[in-house]
């Protein structure tokens, strides 16, 4: 079922919000206000927004370190997200996690994870908890093409299929694991084929097309929610910037990047909505303006927020037991 006009506009707005959030965070990184690694989601917005729009409120998300777009698509507060990137006490993890470890469990967003592939196992376990407790809940597990070569991926898919766990595996195939092209790292050209090895139904879709991602995810969710076990989606996409800030990009040519930029998923989705009469050009311009204004507020909130207090150093090493 296609989303109604309001939802379509919200999806478009989220894509613009992701793009501008990423541009702003790149700016903060260059200013030295964001430390560590910074992996931008620019170019892949259609995957995160299209897939996450198909989830129900009770569903879970577990994702990888390129997690800003997924967090925004799920409705996490951009102010608290940006504050986390800046390592401030108002951040979603109080400045303890940073860019790769965004979280808001109250929204079913169980975190971004920086150990490639490890979170695939955690997502599989969350799905086990949902099945065990008979919850009507699907866990969406998002990962890149690179992690399909890791042991965890295979152990997880095998177990999920064996136990019919309610988990939807979404592979964002952006053609490169860091700087290594898929065909130089994987003996199998299509990641979806790997799912077949574990008897998991799989589709390969155009991840630059928001509504195609939405449709495929909706169908997959229905399959999983009905108790049929896991499902696998391989979304073909492309990241416009490098792997992370400071990537010398020796592994791909400018022509290739430009070719994909011609297929910018935000422009394409805007045109589609215009063509379908959902919005007109003025609406798109207004959204652009509003989001730019929101980002100003996000950036000033984050930048004005205090660093965590030194006394918070030892908070949360252990959970205080007693809730059992």
Partner 1 sequence: MMEMTYRDAIREALREEMTRDERVMIMGEEVGVWGGSYAVTQGLMKEFGEKRVKDTPIAEGIIVGAGIGAAMGGLRPVCELMTINFGLLAADMLINHAAKLHYMFAGQIKVPLVVRSVGGGGRQLAATHSQSLEVLFAYVPGMKVVMPSTPYDAKGMLKAAIRDDNPVLFIEHSLLYPIKGDVPEGDYTVPLGVSDIKREGADVTIVAYSRMVHVALEAADRLATEGISAEVIDLRTLRPLDIQPLIESFKKTNHAIIVEEDWRTYGIGAEIACQVYEQAFDYLDAPIVRCAGLEVPMPYAKNLEALAIPGVGDVVRAAKELVG
Residues binding partner 1 (CB under 8 A): 60, 62, 92-94, 96-97, 101, 103-105, 110-111, 113, 115, 118, 120-130, 132-133, 151-152, 155-156, 158-159, 162-163, 315-324
User: Closer CB to partner 1, residue 121 or residue 182?
Assistant: 121
Smallest separation (angstroms) from partner 1 to the CB of 27: 26
Smallest separation (angstroms) from partner 1 to the CB of 219: 25
Smallest separation (angstroms) from partner 1 to the CB of 121: 2
User: Closer CB to partner 1, residue 174 or residue 305?
Assistant: 305
Smallest separation (angstroms) from partner 1 to the CB of 65: 12
Dig out the tokens for 86 from the structure.
């800046």
Distance between CA atoms of residues 255 and 282, nearest Å: 32
The count of residues in the chain is 324
Distance between CA atoms of residues 243 and 212, nearest Å: 25
What is each CA distance from 130 to 105, 156, 275, 296, in whole angstroms? 15, 16, 41, 39
Residue pair 79/302 in contact by the 8 Å Cβ criterion: yes
β-pair partners for 180:
177
Smallest separation (angstroms) from partner 1 to the CB of 312: 9
User: Closer CB to partner 1, residue 60 or residue 260?
Assistant: 60
Report residue 188 CA to chain centroid gap: 24
Smallest separation (angstroms) from partner 1 to the CB of 165: 9
Distance between CA atoms of residues 93 and 252, nearest Å: 35
User: Closer CB to partner 1, residue 118 or residue 201?
Assistant: 118
Query: In sequence order, which ranges of 133-202 are alpha helices (DSSP H)?
Result: 151-163, 182-185, 191-196
User: Closer CB to partner 1, residue 15 or residue 61?
Assistant: 61
Smallest separation (angstroms) from partner 1 to the CB of 180: 21
> Which H or E run contains 116?
none
> Which H or E run contains 302?
helix 281-304
Smallest separation (angstroms) from partner 1 to the CB of 84: 9
Kindly give the interhelix angle for 5-30 and 45-52, rounded to the nearest 10 degrees: 140
Q: Which of 170, 225, 231 is nearest to 200 (CA)?
A: 231
Distance between CA atoms of residues 29 and 236, nearest Å: 28
Smallest separation (angstroms) from partner 1 to the CB of 199: 14
What is the per-residue DSSP string for 194-213? HHHTTT--EEEEETT-HHHH
What is the per-residue DSSP string for 85-140? HTT-TTSTTTTSS-TT---BGGGTEEEEE-STTHHHHHHHHHHHHHHHTT----EE
User: Closer CB to partner 1, residue 126 or residue 171?
Assistant: 126
User: Closer CB to partner 1, residue 161 or residue 173?
Assistant: 161
User: Closer CB to partner 1, residue 50 or residue 108?
Assistant: 108
User: Closer CB to partner 1, residue 91 or residue 265?
Assistant: 91
């Amino acid at each position: 079922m296609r989303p109604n006009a309001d939802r379509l506009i919200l999806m478009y707005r989220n894509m613009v919000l992701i793009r501008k959030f990423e541009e702003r965070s790149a700016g903060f990184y260059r200013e030295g206000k964001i430390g560590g690694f910074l992996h931008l989601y620019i170019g892949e917005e259609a995957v995160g927004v299209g897939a996450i729009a198909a989830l129900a409120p009770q569903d879970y998300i577990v994702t990888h370190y390129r997690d800003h777009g997924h967090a925004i698509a799920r409705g996490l507060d951009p102010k608290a997200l940006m504050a986390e990137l800046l390592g401030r006490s108002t951040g979603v993890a109080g400045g303890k996690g940073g860019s790769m470890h965004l979280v808001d469990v109250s929204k079913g967003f169980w975190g971004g994870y920086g150990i490639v592939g490890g979170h695939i196992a955690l997502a599989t376990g969350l799905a086990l908890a949902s099945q065990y407790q008979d919850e009507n809940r699907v866990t969406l597990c998002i990962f890149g093409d690179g992690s399909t070569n890791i042991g965890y991926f295979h152990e997880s898919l095998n177990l999920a299929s064996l136990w019919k766990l309610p988990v939807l595996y979404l592979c964002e195939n952006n053609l490169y694991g860091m700087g290594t092209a898929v065909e130089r790292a994987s003996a199998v050209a299509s990641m979806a084929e790997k799912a077949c090895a574990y008897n998991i139904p799989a589709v390969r879709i155009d991840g630059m097309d928001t509504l195609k991602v939405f449709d495929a995810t909706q169908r997959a969710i229905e399959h999983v929610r009905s108790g049929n076990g896991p499902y696998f989606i391989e979304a073909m996409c492309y990241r416009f910037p490098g792997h992370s800030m400071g990537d010398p990009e020796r592994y791909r040519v400018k022509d290739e990047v430009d070719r994909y930029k011609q297929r910018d998923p935000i422009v394409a989705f805007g045109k589609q909505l215009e063509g379908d009469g959902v919005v007109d050009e003025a609406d798109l311009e207004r959204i652009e303006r509003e989001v730019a204004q929101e980002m100003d507020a996000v950036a000033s909130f984050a930048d004005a927020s205090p660093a965590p207090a030194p006394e918070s150093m030892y908070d949360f090493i252990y959970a205080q037991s007693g809730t059992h």
